[in-house]
């Protein structure tokens, strides 16, 4: 049974109209389209619909059809994007709803999300453990985005511990994999740009400014080519910082871009860093 059918049957069993189910969550047309299998709503909306109907995501993704698997993948991708963008409200609750339905193919992505959450809590040992699991799940394939993301977080963990040689080792693994292009089969735009801004920032921390500038420039070029705006403020800041002592005109240009984007994205932390480091 597909998601829309589960929603339809449960709604009818509770004597709810489409309008009453949608009230305060979305519009009635969203419920109608979902029940007709014409769309899957945003994850936050889907979670709220499930709560109103007293359903778990396991209930609505209970079948093993290809459509059901695609819907589960959509949910996991949405959770990962929220985590990378530091939108952490209800993240762990959402993960708990789908945990039992994660198949082996998606375990690297699931473990990556858990590892990032642990890193953000400064639980570096737990984060490192999850990243090591990813190497096993991807067989350390450098053409897999989760291998590269695991390298990134292992490097950042060693930076936090001030083990610069080990940090440099993991960062180098990423750079060597990205020498030619960003053509990684299972990578999304947000993953590539997160990788660029985090790798660039890490290079600055170990005083490899040229490498930081290069990856930031490549990130901005990639974002332009794909019409993406993820982390443009952070990438522009890295370029402004990297060229501060060598090219004042370029530094000023990217400082202004970083300021404008940080204002647009309401990135208060970055605005503070610009004020502290580029004035």
Note down pLDDT in tens along the chain; length 279 residues: 467 778 888 888 898 988 899 898 888 888 888 887 667 677 778 888 888 888 876 666 654 344 445 555 577 888 899 999 998 877 877 787 777 778 788 899 999 999 999 999 999 999 999 999 999 999 999 999 999 999 999 999 999 999 999 999 999 999 999 887 888 888 999 999 999 999 999 999 999 999 999 999 999 999 999 999 999 999 999 999 999 999 999 999 999 999 999 999 999 999 999 999 998
Distances (CA, A) of 225 to 124, 178, 212: 35, 17, 20
DSSP 55: -
Rounded alpha-carbon distances, angstroms, from residue 141 to 137, 138, 146, 248: 9, 6, 9, 41
End-to-end C-alpha distance for the chain, whole angstroms: 59
CA distances 78 to 7, 72, 74, 88, 191, Å, are 20, 10, 6, 12, 12
Centre a 10 Å sphere on the Cβ of residue 92 and count the other Cβ atoms it contains.
12
pTM: 0.76
| The two structure tokens encoding residue 148 | 């590269």
Which residue is listed with tokens 């952490």?
88
Distance, CA of 178 to CA of 21 (rounded, Å): 47
CA distances from 193 to 74, 81, 221, 223, 257 (A): 20, 11, 10, 7, 17
Say which residue the tokens 């053509």 belong to.
183
């Amino acid at each position: 049974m597909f998601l829309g059918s589960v929603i339809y049957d449960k709604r009818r069993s509770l004597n709810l109209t489409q309008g009453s189910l949608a009230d305060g969550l979305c519009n009635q047309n969203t419920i109608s389209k979902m029940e007709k299998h014409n769309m899957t709503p945003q994850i936050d909306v889907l979670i709220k619909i499930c709560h109103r109907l007293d359903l778990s995501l396991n209930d609505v993704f209970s079948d093993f059809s290809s459509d059901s698997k695609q819907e589960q993948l959509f949910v996991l991708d949405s959770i990962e994007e929220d985590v990378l963008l530091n939108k952490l409200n209800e993240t762990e609750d959402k993960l708990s709803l789908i945990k039992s339905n994660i198949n082996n193919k998606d375990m690297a992505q699931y473990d990556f999300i858990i590892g990032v959450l642990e890193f953000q809590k400064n639980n570096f040992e737990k984060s490192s453990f999850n990243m090591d699991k990813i190497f096993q799940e991807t067989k350390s394939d450098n053409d897999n985005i989760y291998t590269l993301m695991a390298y990134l977080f292992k490097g950042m963990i060693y930076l936090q511990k001030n083990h610069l040689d080990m940090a440099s080792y993991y960062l180098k693994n990423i750079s060597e994999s990205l020498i030619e292009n960003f053509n990684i089969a299972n990578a999304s735009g947000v993953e590539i740009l997160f990788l660029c801004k985090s790798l660039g920032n890490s290079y600055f921390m170990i005083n490899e400014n040229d490498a930081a500038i290069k990856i930031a420039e490549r990130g901005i070029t990639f974002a332009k080519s794909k019409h993406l705006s993820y982390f443009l403020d952070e990438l522009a800041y890295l370029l402004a910082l990297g060229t501060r002592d060598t090219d004042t005109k370029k530094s000023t240009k990217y400082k202004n871009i970083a300021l404008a984007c940080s204002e647009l994205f309401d990135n208060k932390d970055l605005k503070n860093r610009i004020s502290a480091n580029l004035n």
